[in-house]
Amino acid sequence: MIRTVACLLVSLIFFAGSARADFLVLPDNRVIASGGLLEVTLFIPNDSTDAELAVDLPARLTLRTRGVSSAPEIVLAPIETQPMQVRIKPDSFLKVRYSGLLPKGLSGNLVLEPVDFAGPALGVSASRAGVAQSAPKSGSEPAGDRKTEAATAAIGPSDRDTARFVSAYSPYEPNYFSAGSDGTTNAKFQISLKFRLFNPDTQTAFLEKLYLAYSQTSIWAIGESSAPFYDSSYRPSLFYLDEDVSQWPFRTWSRLGFQAGLEHESNGKDGAASRSINIAFIRPTFTLPFGNRYFVALSPKIYSYLDRSDNSDIAYYRGYSDVLVKVGATDGVQLATTMRKGTGRAPYSVEFDLSIPLSTPKLGNLGGYLHLQYFDGYGESLLDYNRKVHPQFRIGLMITR
């Protein structure tokens, strides 16, 4: 059975990889007005020195905005009419230009990931002022200037592999570092990334939504002698994620997302301090807009314990669900509230995360967000799952939210 599944997976990977050539998409302008025209050039190289390459050009290029699940997909169409089936001479390349509209409300530095073609992500900046700036040009270039064009398209196999690898990474849960005090100064930080296992391909729509993720949340007692780490939670996970199961017809920005998978959580300690659980979970996410910029998102995470031998009574304190409510502006201030209620009468926890963009002229266009966090209840760390901690306020920097 295992051998059969392995052969099937290898076959799917092989056919998905051979279905089309690798594409490189470069934006004509790196700075674009929010809601303005996005124009890109598609480069298709033929690295062979003796054989022509037959390629079916995509009728459209679809991009998604990394880290902004509420943003609609960006669809680009060819600027000029041309045959969709082409042949590229050996040691040469083809370039085709596409265009489409950037969604209104997006601003700042954006990473646009391909959805229906294989290739690296592209980075652009969306200007809130509504005025796009042209990228610097090196001067006029004759249509037949192969040296200039070859320099633009000269990307070796290792570079393409690196770009493809990097484009598969994206933030998962918020990434931040914040500090505060409940009598002793401490810091709390979280690192969370997800990796898309399969390259985007319309022939393997299910597989392209499978992810591996790793999240680590640590509490660091920086005010104590030798500044030890009080506790850390390590959470690898494997899951299916579709951020747009259903596009609500009455509003462009309304979305229904769905996630389901397996997650392990442990604190890496031994003996009486050891904590470990394994869960299976589902997580629908409902996002509703208010106007062009504001939204409310409801995301309950419902889970079942597969193993809890190190802490068999954890459901009494943690329960069987977490509820995340997020409200704010897509490119502005946001408040995220995570709530949890145990099966017992008393145990509960609530965490508020307020994020304020720092990328404003008055603040020097700093990256990230000012982060204000408040926690109250049981189990801020896995070590203290059955203990109520003192209310805790922290302030710091949130990198992604």
The pLDDT tens digits of the residues spanning 38-97 come to: 989 888 887 777 888 888 888 888 898 887 766 788 989 888 777 777 888 887 778 888
Tell me how far apart the alpha carbons of residues 132 and 32 are, in angstroms, rounded to a whole number: 4
Non-local (6+) Cβ contacts of 383 within 8 A are: 230, 231, 267, 269, 273, 275
- pLDDT over threshold 80, residue 143: no
Task: Find residue 322's DSSP bridge partners.
Answer: 301, 340
CB 62 within 8 A of CB 73: yes
Question: The pTM is what?
Answer: 0.65
Can you give the pLDDT at residue 167? Answer: 67
Can you give the pLDDT at residue 284? Answer: 95
Tell me: domain 168-400, CATH 3.40.50.620, correct? no
CB 26 within 8 A of CB 126: no
| Averaged pLDDT for residues 136-150 | 39
- Domain layout of the chain by residue ranges: 18-164, 168-400
Residue 320 tokens read as 């069987």
Pairing of strands 185-196, 175-181: antiparallel
Can you give the pLDDT at residue 15? Answer: 33
Residue 34 tokens read as 């929010």
CB 258 within 8 A of CB 242: yes
Name which of 11-25, 60-74, 94-108 the model is least confident about: 11-25
For domain 18-164, which CATH number applies: 3.50.50.60, 1.20.1050.10, 3.40.640.10, 2.60.40.10?
Answer: 2.60.40.10
Non-local (6+) Cβ contacts of 84 within 8 A are: 56, 57, 59
| Averaged pLDDT for residues 350-367 | 83
Tell me which amino acid residue 121 is.
Answer: A
- Specify the residue for token string 């980075």: 123
Query: pLDDT of 144-170, one tens digit each?
Result: 334 333 433 444 455 555 556 666 788
Q: Phi/psi of residue 112, each to 5°? A: -105, 120
Tell me how far apart the alpha carbons of residues 135 and 118 are, in angstroms, rounded to a whole number: 25
∠ Cα 370 373 374 (to 5°): 155
Tell me how far apart the alpha carbons of residues 298 and 295 are, in angstroms, rounded to a whole number: 10
Tell me how far apart the alpha carbons of residues 122 and 112 are, in angstroms, rounded to a whole number: 5
Looking at per-residue confidence, does 289 or 150 come out higher? Answer: 289
From the list 346, 280, 347, the residue with the least C-alpha distance to 318 is 347
Q: Phi/psi of residue 363, each to 5°? A: -105, 15
